[in-house]
């Protein structure tokens, strides 16, 4: 029997299989950031051990950094201490750091791919659940806890039980106004926030093949939001074209050699998945979430479920809790509802293509006067590209300010927060209670839907304005 | 890591599904550089009105005096969302040794196991039986036998854990000790796969 893409890469990286236990899996690349690494560094020091392969680790500061005046010292003392601790730890242990002020600094899942560090066939981990983003290149990439960061520091390996495999096929052509964010929000709404727990997901089908690398990253990024260990897409010419020529991409003869192995990375025709799901691209509308987990999403033209549609008492109670938090009513429509904030950014949607999409909608128009914005590029490189393409002028003319790179209002660890009780259309990945600030009400959507709200001040079907 | 063999304790029933790690420990508490002291901020925004410790929310179970114990029982999909191990640290630091649910998110489950907190997965029906018990009733968890028992009724269910992790838990070993002893094999792997 043939092998799935996942199995091909996994099998190649198993150093040892522990009997009735996890596999010891070798890790090719380890990304770290300031929030989930300090306890791992101190743990390794306490053991008197050394970092085993520091040259396979890349660090950046992203979660905790301000997105204005990055040239000045960080004001928040705890944030500053954590970022300084990362600088000190990287120096002490010989880890490459693209810290604040560095030209390569940015959200860890944006910089890895854009620098060509992320490559097909690799195993990649990071103490961050959105590490699944890198799976867009045909790599096994997943988020880990800090104890596991310490494991990789100590041994370049991790203990993992082999997950089951799921394939989600999306075939056909997307409707006008529908982008990759809508695909993944549709999938999560379909199978729920826990629908892929225990699985590694491969996304396949003609609709996936037609997507750019940026769009593929958006899909893989949110795999964790349905509980998946990770998500991946087989590499193809789109992947190879994206990687070629990037800073850390293989060069010359090495490129040819690597390319030949990358071309072997696909699921064999006779490989078996534990579950397969088939979706028609034309069934997908622009999506928006209404609740407090990413599975609570619907078409922007849809209506919220009725209370009676829940038969299970706990589920009903949870739905009512979510409605209360969100200030919404069962059965209502969202279209036309005023929002106060728009956040465009995060490891889900802060790449150059996202800014091009938004710019294409707001060009020559003015932001709604009641909308407050947080527009945050994923990296210094993205910020530079925005200027190079003149997109900054389109945003400025629309009355919208572009900030500096970081995770920002996705999780509100810095000062970029949404005020309690206010709604925010957000291109990020989580609508959990308090995620964007205590009491903040998050509505997840695509950059197009966010751009539409930016102009109208309301939840808008992008198709009504393009 | 603390070892764990058997425990009999009252439990705290958290009848909420999809409890994400942002609720377990909100992001603003992730600025720490040590593992200590997270327990006081466990479920912070569900516990207190406007982040004010003098205003506990009466309807939240951790604030209801009749409930106590070293076992937390939660509805399905516990620990979803962010990979932050701070969630496991806060549960452990608060004093929980076992978390029971009908379904755990993967990363949380690993993080709990790596910190000596035992995640026990039970069936939906058994979870409902636990939730039906009173505040003074106890649960017994026996890791060696891989059983969880509702002491008042004697109802028992077996739970899964792989034998490697079970041995680690019973003895308080961690994965890093194991991996540090594997260096020659890892170096051999690297050489073969260069």
ipTM: 0.95
Q: How far is B55 from chain A (nearest CA, A)?
A: 16
- A293 part of contact set with chain B, CB < 8 Å: yes
Q: How far is CA B58 from CA A89, A339, B44, B49, B55, in A?
A: 43, 31, 13, 10, 9
Query: pLDDT tens per residue, chain A (466 residues)?
Result: 899 999 999 999 999 999 989 999 999 999 999 999 999 999 999 999 999 999 999 999 999 999 999 999 999 999 999 999 999 999 999 999 999 999 999 999 999 999 999 999 999 999 999 999 999 999 999 999 999 999 999 999 999 999 999 999 999 999 999 999 999 999 999 999 999 999 999 999 999 999 999 999 999 999 999 999 999 999 999 999 999 999 999 999 999 999 999 999 999 999 999 999 999 999 999 999 999 999 999 999 999 999 999 998 888 999 999 999 999 999 999 999 999 999 999 999 999 999 999 999 999 999 999 999 999 999 999 999 999 999 999 999 999 999 999 999 999 999 999 999 999 999 999 999 999 999 999 999 999 999 999 999 999 999 999 8
- A413 part of contact set with chain B, CB < 8 Å: yes
- Give the count of alpha carbons within 13 A of B5, CB side only: 1
Cβ–Cβ of B85/A146 closer than 8 Å?
yes
Question: Taking each helix axis from N to C terminus, what angle separates B106-113 and A146-155, rounded to the nearest 10 degrees?
Answer: 70
CA torsion A218→A224→A229→A235, rounded to 10°? -10
> Six-digit token pair at B12?
């705290």
HEC assignment per residue over chain B: CCCCCEEEEEEEEECCCCCEHHHHCCHHHCCCCCCCCHHHHCCHHHHEHHHCCCCECCCCHHHCCCCCCCEEEECCCECECCCCCHHHHHHHHHCCCEEEECCECHHHHHHHHCCCCEEEECCHHHHHHHHCCCCCCEEEEECCCCEEEECCCCEEEECCCCHHHHHHHHHCCCHHHHHHCCHHHHHHHHHHCC
Q: Which residue of B has its CA nearest to A407?
A: B27
Tens of pLDDT, residues B91-140: 999 999 999 999 999 999 999 999 999 999 999 999 999 999 999 999 99
Cβ–Cβ of B33/A79 closer than 8 Å?
no
Pinpoint the alpha helices (H) of A366-420. 380-388, 391-397
Q: How far is CA B141 from CA A143, A154, A376, B4, in A?
A: 30, 33, 48, 10
Q: What is the value of pTM for the model shown?
A: 0.97
| B22 contacts on A by Cβ (under 8 Å) | 411, 430, 432-435
- B125 part of contact set with chain A, CB < 8 Å: no
Cβ–Cβ of A433/B22 closer than 8 Å?
yes
Q: Taking a C-beta distance cutoff of 8 angstroms, is the pair A261, A195 a contact?
A: no
Q: Taking a C-beta distance cutoff of 8 angstroms, is the pair A102, A380 a contact?
A: yes
Closest partner CB to A438 (pick from B51, B84, B175): B51
> Six-digit token pair at A192?
């729920």
* Element (DSSP H or E) covering residue A321: helix A313-326
Q: Taking a C-beta distance cutoff of 8 angstroms, is the pair B73, B18 a contact?
A: no
Closest partner CB to A434 (pick from B22, B86, B182): B22
CA gap B78, B111 in Å, rounded: 13
- Long-range (24+ apart) CB contacts under 8 A made by A80-86 are A81/B31, A81/B33, A82/A34, A82/A35, A82/A38, A82/B31, A82/B32, A82/B33, A83/A34, A85/A34, A85/A38, A85/A41, A85/B33, A86/A32, A86/A33, A86/A34, A86/A37, A86/A38, A86/A59, A86/A61
Closest partner CB to B179 (pick from A19, A157, A224): A157
Q: Taking a C-beta distance cutoff of 8 angstroms, is the pair A367, A455 a contact?
A: yes
For residue A147, give the nearest of B184, B87, B119, B97 by alpha carbon: B87
CA gap A128, A37 in Å, rounded: 10
When pLDDT is cut at 50, 70 and 90, the band that residue B194 belongs to is confident
Cβ–Cβ of B105/A194 closer than 8 Å?
yes
Secondary structure letter of residue A135 according to DSSP: G
- B84 part of contact set with chain A, CB < 8 Å: yes
| B125 contacts on A by Cβ (under 8 Å) | none
Q: How far is A330 from chain B (nearest CA, A)?
A: 19
* Element (DSSP H or E) covering residue A83: helix A77-93
Length of chain A: 466
3-class SS of residue A376: coil
Q: Taking a C-beta distance cutoff of 8 angstroms, is the pair A455, A368 a contact?
A: yes
pLDDT value at B2 more than 90: no
Burial class of residue A73, CB neighbours in 10 A (0-12, 13-18, 19+): exposed
Cβ–Cβ of B186/A15 closer than 8 Å?
yes
Q: How far is A142 from chain B (nearest CA, A)?
A: 10
3-class SS of residue A344: strand
- B28 part of contact set with chain A, CB < 8 Å: yes
Chain-centroid distance, C-alpha B81:
15
- Report pLDDT for B41: 97
Number of residue pairs across A and B with CB atoms under 8 Å? Answer: 183
Q: How far is A361 from chain B (nearest CA, A)?
A: 31
- A81 part of contact set with chain B, CB < 8 Å: yes
CA gap A82, A456 in Å, rounded: 39
Secondary structure letter of residue A378 according to DSSP: S
Bridge partners of residue A414, in order along the sequence? none
Closest partner CB to A128 (pick from B28, B83, B180): B83
CA gap A106, A114 in Å, rounded: 10
* Element (DSSP H or E) covering residue A359: helix A352-362
- Report pLDDT for A419: 97
Cβ–Cβ of B23/A434 closer than 8 Å?
yes
For residue A425, give the nearest of A312, A322, A346 by alpha carbon: A346
pLDDT value at B1 more than 90: no
When pLDDT is cut at 50, 70 and 90, the band that residue B187 belongs to is very high
3-class SS of residue A375: strand
Closest partner CB to B33 (pick from A82, A151, A161): A82
Residue ranges of B 129-188 with Cβ closer than 8 A to chain A: 162-165, 174-176, 178-180, 182-183, 185-186
Q: Which residue of A has its CA nearest to B20?
A: A432
Residue ranges of B 46-75 with Cβ closer than 8 A to chain A: 50-51, 75
| B127 contacts on A by Cβ (under 8 Å) | none
Residue ranges of A 22-61 with Cβ closer than 8 A to chain B: 22, 24, 26, 35-36, 38-39, 42-43, 47, 49, 52
Tens of pLDDT, residues B11-42: 999 999 999 999 999 999 999 999 999 999 99
CA gap B152, A442 in Å, rounded: 43
- Give the count of alpha carbons within 13 A of A411, CB side only: 29
């Amino acid at each position: 029997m043939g092998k799935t893409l996942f199995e091909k890469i996994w099998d190649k990286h198993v150093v040892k299989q522990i009997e009735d236990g996890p596999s010891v899996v070798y890790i090719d690349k380890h990304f770290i950031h300031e929030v989930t690494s300090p306890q791992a560094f101190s743990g390794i020091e306490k053991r008197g051990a050394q970092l085993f392969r520091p040259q396979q680790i890349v660090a950046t500061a992203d979660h905790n950094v301000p997105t204005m005046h990055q040239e000045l010292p960080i004001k928040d003392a705890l944030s500053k201490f954590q970022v300084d601790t990362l600088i000190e730890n990287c120096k002490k242990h010989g880890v490459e750091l693209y810290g604040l002020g560095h030209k390569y600094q940015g959200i860890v899942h944006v910089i890895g791919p854009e620098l060509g560090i992320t490559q097909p066939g690799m195993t990649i981990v990071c103490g961050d659940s959105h590490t699944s983003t890198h799976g867009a290149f045909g790599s096994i990439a997943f988020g880990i806890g800090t104890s596991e960061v310490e494991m990789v520091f100590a041994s370049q390996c991790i203990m993992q039980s082999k997950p089951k495999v799921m394939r989600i096929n999306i075939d056909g052509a997307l409707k006008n106004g529908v982008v990759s964010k809508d695909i993944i929000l549709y999938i999560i709404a379909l199978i729920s926030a826990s629908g892929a727990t225990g699985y590694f997901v491969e996304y396949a089908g003609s609709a996936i093949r037609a997507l750019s690398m940026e769009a593929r990253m958006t899909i893989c990024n949110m795999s964790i939001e349905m509980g998946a260990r990770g998500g991946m897409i087989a590499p193809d010419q789109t992947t190879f074209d994206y990687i070629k020529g990037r800073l850390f991409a293989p060069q010359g003869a090495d490129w040819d050699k690597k390319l030949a192995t990358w071309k072997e990375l696909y699921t064999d025709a006779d490989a078996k998945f534990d579950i397969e799901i088939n979706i028609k691209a034309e069934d997908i509308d622009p999506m928006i979430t209404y609740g407090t987990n990413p599975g609570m999403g619907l078409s922007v033209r849809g209506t919220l479920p009725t209370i009676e549609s829940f038969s299970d008492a706990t589920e009903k109670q949870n739905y009512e809790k979510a409605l209360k938090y969100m200030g919404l009513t069962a059965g209502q429509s969202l279209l036309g509802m005023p929002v106060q904030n728009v956040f465009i950014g995060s490891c889900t949607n802060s790449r150059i293509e996202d800014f091009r999409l938004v710019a294409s909608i707001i060009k020559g128009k003015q932001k709604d006067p009641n909308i407050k914005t947080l527009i945050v590029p994923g990296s210094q490189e993205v910020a530079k590209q925005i200027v190079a393409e003149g997109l900054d002028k389109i945003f400025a003319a629309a009355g919208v300010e572009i900030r500096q790179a970081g995770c920002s209002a996705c999780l509100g660890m810095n000062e970029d927060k949404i005020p309690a009780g206010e709604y925010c259309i957000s291109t990020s990945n989580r609508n959990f209670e308090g995620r964007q600030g205590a009491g903040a009400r998050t509505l997840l959507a695509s950059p197009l839907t966010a751009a539409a709200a930016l102009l109208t001040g309301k939840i808008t079907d992008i198709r009504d304005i393009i | 890591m603390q070892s764990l063999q058997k425990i009999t304790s009252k439990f705290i029933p958290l009848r909420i599904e999809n409890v994400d790690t942002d609720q377990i420990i909100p992001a603003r508490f992730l600025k720490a550089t040590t593992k200590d002291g997270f327990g006081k901020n466990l479920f912070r925004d569900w516990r207190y009105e406007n982040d004010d410790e003098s205003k506990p929310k009466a309807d939240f179970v951790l604030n209801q005096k009749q409930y106590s114990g070293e076992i937390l029982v939660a509805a399905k999909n516990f620990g979803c969302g962010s990979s932050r191990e701070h969630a496991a640290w806060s549960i452990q630091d608060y004093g929980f040794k076992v978390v029971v649910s009908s379904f755990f998110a993967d990363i949380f489950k690993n993080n709990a196991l790596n910190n000596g907190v035992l995640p026990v997965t039970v069936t939906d029906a058994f979870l409902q039986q636990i939730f039906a018990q009173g505040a003074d009733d106890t649960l017994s968890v026996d890791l060696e036998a891989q059983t969880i028992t509702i002491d008042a009724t004697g109802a028992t269910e077996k739970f899964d854990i792989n034998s490697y992790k079970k041995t680690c838990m019973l003895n308080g070993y961690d994965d890093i000790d194991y991996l540090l002893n594997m260096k020659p094999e890892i170096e051999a792997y690297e050489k073969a796969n260069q």
